[in-house]
Amino acid sequence: MNDVTGMPQTAVVLGGGSEIARAVLVALARHRLRRVVLTGPTAASLEATAAAAAHAGVEAEVVVHDLTDVAGIDALVRQAGDRLGTIDLVLVAAGRLGTARLDELDATTVAALAGANFAGPAAALVAFAKALAAQGGGRLVVLSSAAGYRVRKANFVYGAAKAGLDGLAQGLRDALEGTGVGVTIVRPGFVRSRMTSGMAPAPMASDPEDVAAAVVAGIERRAEVVWVPSTLGPVLFALRLLPSSLWRRLPG
Amino acid sequence: MLSGVDAPQSLLAGWGRAGATRATVSRPRSPDEVAELLRSPGGSGVIPRGLGRAYGDAAQRSGGTVVDCTGLDRVVELDEAAGTVRVEAGCSLEALLRAILPRGYFVPVTPGTRHVSVGGAIAADVHGKNHHRDGSIGAHVRSMVLATPTGVRRLDAGGEDGALLDATTGGMGLTGVVTEATLELIPVETASIVVDTERAVDLDDCMARMVARDADYRYSVAWLDALATGRRLGRAVLTSGDHAPLEALEPGRRERALAYAPRAPIDLGRLPAVRVLAPSLGAALNEAWYRKAPLERTGEVQSLTAFFHPLDGVGAWNRAYGRLGFTQYQFVVPPDAGEVVRRVLEHLTRRRVPSYLAVLKRFGAAGSGHLSFPSPGWTLALDLPLGVPGLAATLDELDELVAAAGGRVYLAKDGRLRPELLAAMYPRLADWRSVRDGVDPHGVLCSDLGARLGLCDDGSGGSRR
Ligand SMILES: Cc1cc2nc3c(=O)[nH]c(=O)nc-3n(C[C@H](O)[C@H](O)[C@H](O)COP(=O)(O)OP(=O)(O)OC[C@H]3O[C@@H](n4cnc5c(N)ncnc54)[C@H](O)[C@@H]3O)c2cc1C
Ligand SMILES: NC(=O)c1ccc[n+]([C@@H]2O[C@H](COP(=O)([O-])OP(=O)(O)OC[C@H]3O[C@@H](n4cnc5c(N)ncnc54)[C@H](OP(=O)(O)O)[C@@H]3O)[C@@H](O)[C@H]2O)c1
C-alpha cells in the first residue's frame, strides 16, 4: 500500500535497466519500498538494477520484455500483479536517445525511436493505469523530458516522442480523476547517465540521484509535474516564447 | 448483490484526507446483512467503517468492500438499574449522548470528538481525558456482538471468548464487524463540567503540574503551544475537571441541568479562504489560545461540549489543510521517558515541520486489548500538514525515538508507520494474530492500514512478516 505520505511498498519499473530508475529505487527503499518488478529488453542492465535494489533491501524480480512488443503487455501487467499483490507505483523509465542526424535517420530508425519512447511506453502506461484503477488506487510516475517541452533539432525524434508521452500522461491523469490513481510527470533536463555518456553536459545538468530526490519529494507533494532541477521549469517556459528563428540557433 | 444494500464505488480516505482509495461501499441495515456480507466477500477484502474519524487508512480498502456501519444506529436499551446501555455499533457518541444524558448518564470514555461511532471507538479502544482514572473504552464494554467470517459471536467481558474480545478491542476492525455493544455508563447530575485551568510556562512546568494534579481530577489534559520553541518549548494550557454536581450550577439553571443540545457547527470547509490562511492562522490561534487562558482559574462551569469536544464547533475543519491533507502523529512513552516528548518537539522544530495542534496527556494503566494503544506514560498527539518537505523521513526518525523508549504510535491516527516497527511497539501482536487466524482463516477482513502494516495479507503472500 502507498502510505498517506505517498510512499510505496511495491513498484514496477518499465525500463528497469535505467540508471535514473536505479537511483529512484534506492531513494524509495529508504522509505517503504520492499519489493519491485523490473522489466526491460536487456537482462544485464536489469540485473544491475536488481543488485542495487537488493543492496538497498528491496527484493527484485527481473522480467525481460521489450515494450515495443505491445502484444506482451497485458501478460506483463498480470505477472506484475501476481508477483506484488498491490502495485503501489509504476515508474516509466524506458527510453532511447538515438540519433537526430538526417543522414542516419531512415524510416526504420525513426519508427524504432518512436516505439521505444512513445508507442511502447504509452501502451504500457495505459495498461497499468487500468490495472491500478481496478485495484482501487496507486501512482504512475512517468519520466518525460525537458526535450519534449519544446522540441529541438539536436534530438527531435526523441523529443517529439517524449512530447507525445508527456501529453498522453497529462490526459491520462485527468481521465483517472476519481479512481485513486495519481500521475506524476517528471521532466529532467540533462542527466549524467548512460543515455548521455560521452556528451558534454548541458547547462543545469543533474545526476540520477538528483532526479531520485526530486521524484521522492514530488510523490510526497502529490505533484503533477516535477522539473529537475526545479528552476528548469521557469527557464524553459521563457525559452519556449523565443521566436523560432532564435530557437533554432541555440547551441546544443 | 444483497437486496437492500447499496453498493456504489467510492473514493474513501480518513479524517486526514490523504491516501484515498476506491472501494465498494455497502451500507447494511441489519446485523444479518452484515453477516451475509462477510459470508460472500469479493475483491481484496472487507473492512467496517464508522464515521471515518480515524486519521489514516484504517477504515478503507483499496479494491475491496467497505461496510458502512452507520445504518446500524439504534440506541436499543438504557438499563437504568444496571447503569448500562445497549447500542448498535454504528450509533454516534453524539446520538448516544442525546439519548442518555437527559436521563442522567454520560459515556464512560469520549475521544476529542463526539462524531465517532461506538464500533469505531471499540475498534480503536479509544481513550479520553479520564484515561489516568478510568482507562480506555474497552474497560467499560460489558459485552458485544461480533460478526466474523466464521459466524456471529456474542462476547462477554470475563466470559469464554475473552481472547476474541481482547483481539477486537483495539483490533481496528480486523477481527470482524461489531454490530452492537453494551457499555457501562457514568451517572451524572448535570451536563456540565467544573473546570480548573492553569498555564504552564514550559514543558517541565507542564509535566510537573500534571504529575502533581492529575490524581485530583477525573479529567485532565494539556494543550501545548506546538509552535513555541526554545525557552518556551512546551508552554501549555492545562485543563482539569469533574462532572459538575447539581449544586455547582446557579439555582436558575438547575431545572435544565441535563439538557444537551450541541449547536450545529460552522462549516469551515465552505470557506475557501481558510485553506490559504491556514498556516498563519494556525500560529495565531496557538498564540491566542495560550494568551487567552487565565494564569489560573478554578471552578468554572463549562458545558460538556466546550470541555470535551471544542473542535466539533467547527465542521469539516480537516479541509483547512488543503489538497494534500494532514496526518496526526500520536505516540505514548513510559512514565520515565517523558524526555522523548521534548525531543520529538525539538526534532520537529529542527526539521521545520509545523504543528498546529498538540495535546499532551498522562495515561493510566493499560487495558487488555492486544493491539490497544494506551499504556502508562505520556502521550502526545500532533496534527501535521502533509506535503511539508521531508515529512515522511522526519516521522520515521520520530518512530525510532519512540520505539527506542519502549513506546508506540496509535494506529487509529496512523497512515505511515514503518511496518518493521509494529511488533516491537505492540508486543502482543502474536496473540492477536493467532486469534484473528482463528476467526478469519481465509483473510477476508483487510483494510489498507492492515495491508500496509502486514496485519492482513494483501494477496501477494509477501506482506506478512
Ligand atoms: C478531532 C478528533 C479527535 C480525536 N480524539 C481522540 C481521542 O481523544 N482519543 C482517541 O482515542 N481517539 C481520538 N480520535 C480518533 C477516533 O476516536 C478514532 O479514530 C475512532 O476509531 C473513530 O471512530 P469512527 O467511528 O469514526 O471509526 P472509523 O474512522 O470509521 O474507523 C476506525 C476503525 O474502526 C473500525 N471500525 C469502525 N466501525 C467498526 C465496527 N462496527 N466494528 C468493528 N470495527 C469497526 C474500522 O475498521 C477502523 O479500523 C479523534 C479523532 C478526531 C477526528
Ligand atoms: N539522461 C538524461 O539526460 C535524461 C533526461 C531526461 C529524461 N530522461 C529519461 O529518463 C529515463 C531514464 O533514462 P536514463 O537516463 O536512466 O537512461 P538509461 O540508463 O539509458 O535508461 C533507459 C532505459 O530504457 C530502456 N529501454 C530502452 N528501450 C526500451 C524498450 N523498448 N522497452 C523497455 N525498455 C527500454 C533501456 O534498456 P537497456 O538497459 O536495454 O538499454 C534502459 O534501461 C528515460 O525515459 C529517458 O528518456 C533522461
pLDDT tens by residue, chain B, 465 residues:
333 345 689 999 999 999 999 999 999 999 999 999 999 877 799 999 999 999 999 999 999 999 999 999 999 999 999 999 999 999 999 999 999 999 999 999 999 999 999 999 999 999 999 999 999 999 999 999 999 999 999 999 999 999 999 999 999 999 999 999 999 999 999 999 999 999 999 999 999 999 999 999 999 999 999 889 999 999 999 999 999 999 999 999 999 999 998 877 776 655 544 444 455 666 666 777 787 888 888 999 999 999 999 888 888 889 888 899 999 999 999 999 999 999 999 999 999 999 988 999 999 999 999 999 999 999 999 999 999 999 999 999 999 999 999 999 999 999 999 999 999 999 999 999 999 999 999 999 999 999 999 999 875 544 433
Q: Across the interface, do A85 and B395 touch by the CB < 8 Å criterion?
A: no
Query: So what's the pLDDT on residue B459?
Result: 59
Query: How, if at all, do strands B84-88 and B177-184 pair?
Result: antiparallel
Whose grid coordinates read 517528471?
A186
Residue B342, sorted as left (phi over 0), alpha (psi -120 to 50) or beta, turns out to be alpha
Q: Are B129 and B214 in contact (CB under 8 A)?
A: no
Which of A128, A158, A190, A227 is flagged as catalytic?
Answer: A158
- Give every CB contact of residue A51 below 8 A, 6+ residues apart in sequence: none
pTM above 0.90, yes or no: yes
Taking the C-alpha atoms of residue A139 and residue B44, their distance in angstroms, rounded to an integer, is: 18
Q: Which residue of B has its CA nearest to A220?
A: B387
Residues facing residue B146 across a β-bridge: B153, B178
B202: exposed, middle or buried (Cβ count in 10 Å: 0-12, 13-18, 19+):
middle
* H or E stretch covering B338: none
- Give every CB contact of residue B186 below 8 A, 6+ residues apart in sequence: B105, B106, B107, B108, B243
Chain B residues with CB-CB distance to A137 below 8 A: 19-22, 62-63
Q: Across the interface, do A221 and B419 touch by the CB < 8 Å criterion?
A: no
- Most A CBs within 10 Å, among B55, B62, B324, B327, to test the A interface: B62
Taking the C-alpha atoms of residue A77 and residue A82, their distance in angstroms, rounded to an integer, is: 9
B203-213 and B339-350 are packed helices; what angle lies between their axes, rounded to 10 degrees? 150
Nearest to B353 by CA among B328, B378, B388: B388
What's the CA-to-centroid distance between B320 and ligand 1, angstroms? 20
* B72-187: CATH architecture: 2-Layer Sandwich (3.30)
Residue B332, sorted as left (phi over 0), alpha (psi -120 to 50) or beta, turns out to be beta
- Residue A189 above 70 pLDDT? yes
Q: Which ligand is nearest to the CA of B359?
A: 1
Q: Across the interface, do A85 and B458 touch by the CB < 8 Å criterion?
A: yes
Q: What are the sequence ranges of the domains in chain B?
A: 9-70+428-452, 72-187, 192-417
- CATH T-level fold of A10-247: Rossmann fold (3.40.50)
**Over the Cα atoms of chain A, what is R_g?**
17
Number of Cβ within a 10 Å radius of residue B48: 32
Residues facing residue B181 across a β-bridge: B87, B144
Taking the C-alpha atoms of residue A168 and residue B267, their distance in angstroms, rounded to an integer, is: 39
Q: How far is CA A193 from CA A18, A22, A51, A209, B187, in A?
A: 9, 11, 18, 10, 72
Whose grid coordinates read 497512515?
B415
Chain B residues with CB-CB distance to A34 below 8 A: 462
Ligand 1 contact via B89 beta carbon (within 6 Å): yes
Q: Across the interface, do B415 and A1 touch by the CB < 8 Å criterion?
A: no
Whose grid coordinates read 521549469?
A233
Nearest to B56 by CA among B150, B124, B152: B124
CATH code: domain B9-70+428-452 is: 3.30.43
Q: Are B220 and B378 in contact (CB under 8 A)?
A: no
Distance of CA A226 to the CA centre of its chain: 12
Q: Across the interface, do A222 and B387 touch by the CB < 8 Å criterion?
A: yes
Query: So what's the pLDDT on residue B278?
Result: 55
Ligand 1 contact via B257 beta carbon (within 6 Å): no
DSSP state of B265: P
Closest partner residue to B462 (CB to CB) among A3, A85, A178 is: A85
What's the CA-to-centroid distance between B247 and ligand 2, angstroms? 78
Q: Across the interface, do B392 and A31 touch by the CB < 8 Å criterion?
A: yes
Q: Which ligand is nearest to the CA of A228?
A: 2
Ligand 1 contact via B86 beta carbon (within 6 Å): no
Taking the C-alpha atoms of residue B121 and residue B137, their distance in angstroms, rounded to an integer, is: 7
Ligand 2 contact via A93 beta carbon (within 6 Å): yes
Which listed CATH number (3.90.1150.10, 3.40.50.720, 2.60.40.2550, 3.30.70.2520) goes with B192-417? 3.30.70.2520
What's the CA-to-centroid distance between A143 and ligand 2, angstroms? 9
In the residue annotation, A158 being an active-site residue is answered as: yes
| Angle, vertex CA B87, rays to CA B83 and CA B91, nearest 5 | 130
Query: How, if at all, do strands B357-363 and B326-333 pair?
Result: unpaired
Query: So what's the pLDDT on residue B272?
Result: 47
What's the CA-to-centroid distance between B114 and ligand 1, angstroms? 10
From the alpha carbon of B53, which atom of ligand 1 is closest? 26
SS3 B224: strand
Interface of A with B (CB under 8 A): 1-7, 9-10, 30-32, 34-35, 59, 83-86, 133-137, 178-180, 217, 220-222
Chain B residues with CB-CB distance to A9 below 8 A: 419, 452, 463
Closest partner residue to A220 (CB to CB) among B323, B387, B461 is: B387
Q: Which ligand is nearest to the CA of B122?
A: 1
Residue environment code for B341-367, b if the CB has 16+ CB neighbours within 10 A, otherwise e: bbebbebbbebebbbbbbbbbbbbebb
